[in-house]
Amino acid sequence: DAGITQSPRYKITETGRQVTLMCHQTWSHSYMFWYRQDLGHGLRLIYYSAAADITDKGEVPDGYVVSRSKTENFPLTLESATRSQTSVYFCASSESQGIFRWEQFFGPGTRLTVL
């Protein structure tokens, strides 16, 4: 399917476990992003990537690890999940031309619960 997909859509895990959220886009967009959205709040940027093998921290990176070995994939790993990481996670992608960036397109989200 064309577009941007996330998996799993729902995940329940326990404190201390490692969890990986997957994001895949078919547009070959250069930029990809991970956000978290907590109940009643806007979105906060966790990490972003400008291209394969280039990643950088956003506003709330602590406790998360990302990688981007291929343009189309941008997995987000919680190395040791904590209850405060219970949230809805959104992945997004956008194209760019120099510093000019086109609009972001969002995946459907992953609802993560850490018990």
Partner 1 sequence: GIQVEQSPPDLILQEGANSTLRCNFSDSVNNLQWFHQNPWGQLINLFYIPSGTKQNGRLSATTVATERYSLLYISSSQTTDSGVYFCAVERVRSNDYKLSFGAGTTVTVRA
Among 58, 61, 63, 75, binds partner 1 (CB under 8 A): 58
Q: Which residues contact 74 (CB under 8 A, 6 or more apart)?
A: 23, 25, 32, 34, 49, 66, 67, 68, 91, 93
Pairing relation of β-strands 10-13 and 19-25? Answer: unpaired
In the bound state with partner 1, the residue whose beta carbon lies nearer, of 67 and 104, is 104
Among 1, 28, 39, 41, binds partner 1 (CB under 8 A): 41
Which residues inside 86-115 make contact with partner 1, applying CB under 8 A? 88, 90, 92, 99-106, 108-109
- The distance of closest approach from Cβ of residue 109 to partner 1 in the complex, given in angstroms and rounded to an integer, is 6
In the bound state with partner 1, the residue whose beta carbon lies nearer, of 48 and 64, is 48
Among 1, 2, 42, 62, binds partner 1 (CB under 8 A): 42
Binding site for partner 1 (CB under 8 A): 33, 35, 41-45, 48, 56, 58-59, 88, 90, 92, 99-106, 108-109
